[in-house]
Amino acid sequence: MSTYPYWSLNFDLRADLPVHVMRVLTDVASDHASEAEDVALLHPVVRFYLSDWSRMLVGEKDPRVGSPIRLFRHANADRGKADCLSIEFCQHDDEHANGGWVFWLWVLSLVHRPPPHPASRSMIGFEAAYRGDAVSPRIYFVDHTGLDLGGRHMSFQEIDETLEGQLGHDHGYSSRMDE
């Protein structure tokens, strides 16, 4: 049986994002085409979804009302003003298993890494079996150690190393973003 896992995430963006990534996210949020040079720097899987945002809504019914990405700025206790990303996307379960997971993990790599502090744990969204699944959503949290993905912990290092193996330097993008 096929399913369409659904994610709804809202989080502060890392301050060290490459300029081309911010431009592409801004363009998608504004429902504008990105510069070919910026899109070309993205991993092919990420490029597939961001070059036509309707691909992030597989299985969704029309009418679609604007891009599933929103960018905004807000006050942040540890950083002053911070850019925030709100994103919703779904994938066919086979699509996710056959490479779509790279987009999911790439989105998670954009999450701001909070400083060590007992109160730094924040909810950033959820994953559900399908849109409207109110019975079994997995809640996502972030703190200074990484992400809690509905009971499964992924450290920032694990995310970086997994993406490094997928994205590498051939695509002009390092998941460590400081290289």
The torsion of the CA quartet 130, 86, 157, 24, rounded to 10 degrees, works out to 110
**Mean pLDDT value of segment 71-88:** 79
- Mean residue pLDDT of the chain comes to 83
Within the chain, strands assigned E span 6-12, 69-76, 80-90, 122-128, 138-143, 146-149, 152-155
- In sequence order, which residues have a C-beta less than 8 Å from that of residue 45 and are 6 or more positions away? 99, 100, 102, 103, 106, 166
Domains of the chain, residue spans:
6-116+158-167
For residue 41, pLDDT beyond 50: yes
**Mean pLDDT value of segment 103-124:** 87
CA atoms of 67 and 95, how far apart (whole Å): 20
pLDDT at residue number 79: 64
Number of other CB atoms surrounding residue 58 within 10 Å: 17
